[in-house]
């Protein structure tokens, strides 16, 4: 009889030990999940602020655009925190922003060439570049607004 009591006691000790270890792993997992959710929220909040700043800096003067938070998130691997829908929409808007920035560089170069030479060809080239850039700015602003109005970004 004492042997069966020892077996039951051993079984109970094993069950308690495994339950404790399982609970510890589950708590660790919950803590990690909570940290990821907080990091995701912080990333989206920072991206939202950056998108607002970039939108406000999009002018006919074609200033240089600096999507530093996005570039940092790409380099650090933080984008894996985002859902596929969020990642797709943000990637598209930042691709448009970088294209607009590149086009702005071309407009600034055309303006510099026109100011240097004052030739009719340089003026025409600058005018064409500038008009195309103004249209691109409006498209970029509209795309930024669309992303900023997403429920997952607007609610922050």
DSSP symbols for 22-90? HHHHHHHHHHHHHHHHHHHHHHHHHHHHHHHHHHHH--TT-PPP--HHHHHHHHHTGGGGS-HHHHHHH
Q: What is the largest CA-CA distance in the chain?
A: 109
pLDDT score for 1? 62
Could you read off the pLDDT of 107-126 as tens digits, one per residue? Answer: 999 988 888 888 888 888 88
pTM for the structure as a whole = 0.83
Could you read off the pLDDT of 81-106 as tens digits, one per residue? Answer: 999 999 999 999 999 999 999 999 99
Spatial separation of the C-alpha atoms in residues 116 and 111, rounded to whole Å: 9
């Amino acid at each position: 009889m004492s042997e069966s009591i020892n077996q039951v006691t051993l079984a109970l000790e094993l069950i308690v030990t495994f339950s404790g270890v399982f609970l510890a792993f589950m708590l660790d997992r919950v803590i990690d999940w909570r940290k990821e959710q907080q990091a995701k929220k912080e990333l989206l909040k920072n991206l939202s602020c950056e998108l607002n700043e970039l939108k406000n800096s999009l002018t006919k003067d074609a200033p240089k655009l600096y999507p530093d938070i996005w570039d940092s998130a790409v380099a650090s691997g933080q984008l894996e925190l985002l859902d596929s829908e969020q990642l797709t929409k943000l990637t598209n808007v930042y691709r448009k922003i970088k294209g607009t920035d590149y086009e702005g560089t071309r407009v600034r170069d055309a303006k510099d060439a026109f100011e240097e030479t004052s030739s009719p060809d340089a003026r025409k080239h600058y005018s064409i570049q500038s008009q195309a850039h103004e249209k691109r700015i409006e498209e970029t602003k509209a795309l930024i607004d669309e992303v900023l109005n997403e429920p997952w970004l607007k609610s922050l």
